[in-house]
Every structure is written in structure tokens, then in C-alpha cells.
Amino acid sequence: MSHDTYELKAEAREQVGKGSARAVRRNGKVPAVIYGDKQPPLAIALTYKDIYYKIHGGGFLTTVATIDVDGNKIQVLPKDFQLDPVKDFPVHVDFLRIGKDTEVNVDVPVHFINEDKSPGIKRGGVLNIVRHEVEFHCPANAIPDFITVDLTGTDIGDSIHISAVTLPAGVKPVIFDRDFTIATIAGSSAMKPEAVEETTEAAAPEAAPAAEEK
């Protein structure tokens, strides 16, 4: 995990509920809850500006953070957040408390490399991405920023499955009962004529041998 960890300052909230949350927002803060690790939930209030930029800065749900609650520092992983449907500002955040053995399910982005080394793409084929993200089960302190799919040697008609991806230690797909597809190399109307011809010939069944003349 290469995301830089960060720290947020927060205040503990004694009251919870919709009325309390509205009061927190009126004061320019964002209500949030820290839960998990076999401890009772802790209601907190975060500075609006700090949490807004973290949410919209990318990697928010895959980066472990430290929240300083009135001097008590708690390691957390953001698990969910709610945005105002009109103004797009944060109205609530859920954090999972991280212990030393905490494991989580997270959606990890897929990055593709070496498109220039794919014969299929060179001939005009198109990379068809089936999954832009893959859900993994992994240690909370070892969440990968992304997984890498190498397209070297791929040709038109090829499918890239999860089994072809090298994963970091301890990182396992949540879908484990099948070798699911991440991407395919598909033909396109922009392919070079000779490439289309070759692909069509390869796909066509062999013609039946002509009957012998009597």
C-alpha cells in the first residue's frame, strides 16, 4: 500500500441521532462514527474542510488513517460516506477501527500496462475492460493501491482472468469459486483490412472437401 497515511482531528459527540447530526453540520463539521474491533461505537465530529478534501482526493476508502479524538489516537479505515445529493458535500462518514489482525473487503482499481506489446491491440483490437475494480479480502494495513494486468502478448479474442494477475501476499479475491474475467481483447471496425481477413479466416469452419468427379 503506497497511499500516504494521514491524521484527522475530531471531537467526541455525546449525543447521537438526526437532531445531533444536524447541529454538528450547522457548526461547519461532519458527523461520523468509529466502530469495530470489539469496542463500542464512538460518535465524533470532523472538520468539514479536512474530510471534504480527503474524500474527493482519491483513495479514501483504501487508505488507513489516524483520528485524534481529543488526544486519543485511533487507527481507522474509512468504510462508507454519504454526500449531499445536490451539493456533493459530505454529510456522514463511517470508519472501521483497525486492530493488528483486522482484515477487510475493499474494492481495488485495476491498472493495465504494456498495451503497446499486445499484438491484438497493435492490429486494431480494443481493450474491453470487464472489471475496473476487483473486490479483495486482505489485511487492513496491506491494502494494495491497485492491481496490475500485463497485456504483453495478448491477441484478439483473448480473455484475461484473475488467475493471470500476480497478487500481493495475503490479498485474495472475494469471488473465489471461479476464475472470473477482468478484460478481453476484442476486434473492432477500425482494424486493418488484412487483420480482419485473418481473424475471419481463423474463425471460419473448414470447407467440406469437394466430391470427387466420376
Residue 112 CA to residue 175 CA, distance in Å, equals 21
Which pLDDT score is estimated for 196?
Answer: 47
- Per the CB < 8 A criterion, the answer to whether 108 and 144 are in contact is yes
The CATH number of the structural domain formed by 6-99 is: 2.40.240.10
- Per the CB < 8 A criterion, the answer to whether 149 and 160 are in contact is yes
SS3 87: coil
Which pLDDT score is estimated for 20?
Answer: 75
Strands 172-173 vs 133-139: parallel, antiparallel or unpaired:
antiparallel
- Which residues lie below 8 Å from residue 50, measured CB to CB, with a gap of 6+? 8, 9
Neighbour-count burial for 198-212, b at 16+ CB within 10 Å, e otherwise? ebeeeeeeeeeeeee
Residue 181 CA to residue 163 CA, distance in Å, equals 9
Residue 171 CA to residue 135 CA, distance in Å, equals 10
The CATH number of the structural domain formed by 104-203 is: 2.170.120.20
Which pLDDT score is estimated for 194?
Answer: 52
To which residue does cell 474491533 refer?
A: 37
Residue 109 grid coordinates: 482499481
Prediction pTM value: 0.73
Residue numbers of the chain with a pLDDT score lower than 70: 1-4, 15, 17, 19, 189-214
Which pLDDT score is estimated for 189?
Answer: 63
H or E element in which residue 104 lies: strand 103-113
Query: Where are the domains positioned within the chain?
Result: 6-99, 104-203
Which pLDDT score is estimated for 11?
Answer: 92
Which pLDDT score is estimated for 138?
Answer: 94
Q: Report the helix count and the strand count for the chain, using DSSP H and E.
A: 4, 13
- Per the CB < 8 A criterion, the answer to whether 146 and 111 are in contact is yes
